[in-house]
Structure 1
Amino acid sequence: METKRVETKRITVNGVELAYLEQGEGPLALLLHGFPETPGMFRHLMPVLAAAGYRAVAPYMRGFAPSRVPADGSMLMKDLIEDANALHEALGGDGDAVIIGHDWGGFTTWGAAAHTPERWSRVVVADVPPVRFYERRAAVPEQIHKNSHFYFFQMGVADQLVPANDFAYLDWLWQHWSGDVPGFDSTEDRLAGKDALRDPANLRMGLGLYRQNFPSDAFGTEDWEMGRLLAELPSQPTLYLHGSEDPVVDEEILADIVAALPEGSDGVLLQGVGHFPMVEAPEEVNERIMAFLSGARSAGK
Structure 2
Amino acid sequence: MPTSAASAEQQGADLIGHSRENSPTVGHIRKRTVHANGLDFPILEAGSGPLVLCLHGFPDHARSWAYFLDRLAQEGYWAVAPALRGYWAGGAAPDGSYRALATGQDVIALIEALGAEKADLIGHDLGARAAYAAASLDAARVRKLVGLAVPYGKGLTTAFVADGDQQRRSWYMFFFQTRLAEMAVQLNDFAFLDRLWREWSPGYVLPAADRSALNETFGQPGVLTQALAYYRQLFTPPSEAEAQAVEARASGPIAVPSLYLHGTDDGCMSAQLSEGMEAMFTNGLERVVMPGAGHFLHLEQPDDVLNHVLRFLKC
TM-score, length of structure 1 as denominator length: 0.86
Q: Does the 8 A contact of 2:56 with 2:126 survive in 1?
A: yes
- Counterpart among 79, 82, 87 of residue 64 in structure 1: 87
Residue-by-residue CA offset, 1:235-291 (whole Å, 9 max, x unaligned): 011000111112676676545223542344311001111111110110100000000
Query: Does 1:161 pair with 2:181?
Result: no
Q: Does the 8 A contact of 1:131 with 1:227 survive in 2?
A: no
**Which stretch shifts more, 27-36 or 196-205?**
196-205
* Structure 2 counterpart of 1:298: none
Helix, strand or coil at the partner of 2:224: helix
Q: Does the 8 A contact of 1:49 with 1:55 survive in 2?
A: yes
Query: Does 1:201 pair with 2:219?
Result: no
Change over 3 Å in CA distance of 1:290–1:228 after alignment to 2: same
Matches within 5 A, 1:1-301: 5-65=28-88, 68-95=91-118, 97-135=119-157, 137-138=159-160, 139-181=162-204, 184-215=205-236, 228-246=248-266, 254-295=274-315
Q: Whole-Å Cα distance in 1 between the matches of residues 293 and 33 of structure 2? A: 33
Q: How far off is 1:162 after superposition?
A: 0.9
Q: Does the 8 A contact of 2:148 with 2:260 survive in 1?
A: yes
Q: Whole-Å Cα distance in 2 between the matches of residues 226 and 281 of structure 1? A: 37
Residue-by-residue CA offset, 1:196-224 (whole Å, 9 max, x unaligned): 11134111101111112223x89xxxx98
Q: Whole-Å Cα distance in 2 between the matches of residues 263 and 212 of structure 1? A: 30
Change over 3 Å in CA distance of 1:76–1:135 after alignment to 2: closer
Change over 3 Å in CA distance of 1:160–1:272 after alignment to 2: same
Once the two structures are aligned, what percentage of the paired residues are identical?
32
Change over 3 Å in CA distance of 1:189–1:269 after alignment to 2: farther
Q: How far off is 1:180 after superposition?
A: 1.8
* Structure 1 counterpart of 2:24: none
TM-score, length of structure 2 as denominator length: 0.82
Structure 1: which 5+ runs fail to align? 296-301
Structure 2: which 5+ runs fail to align? 1-26
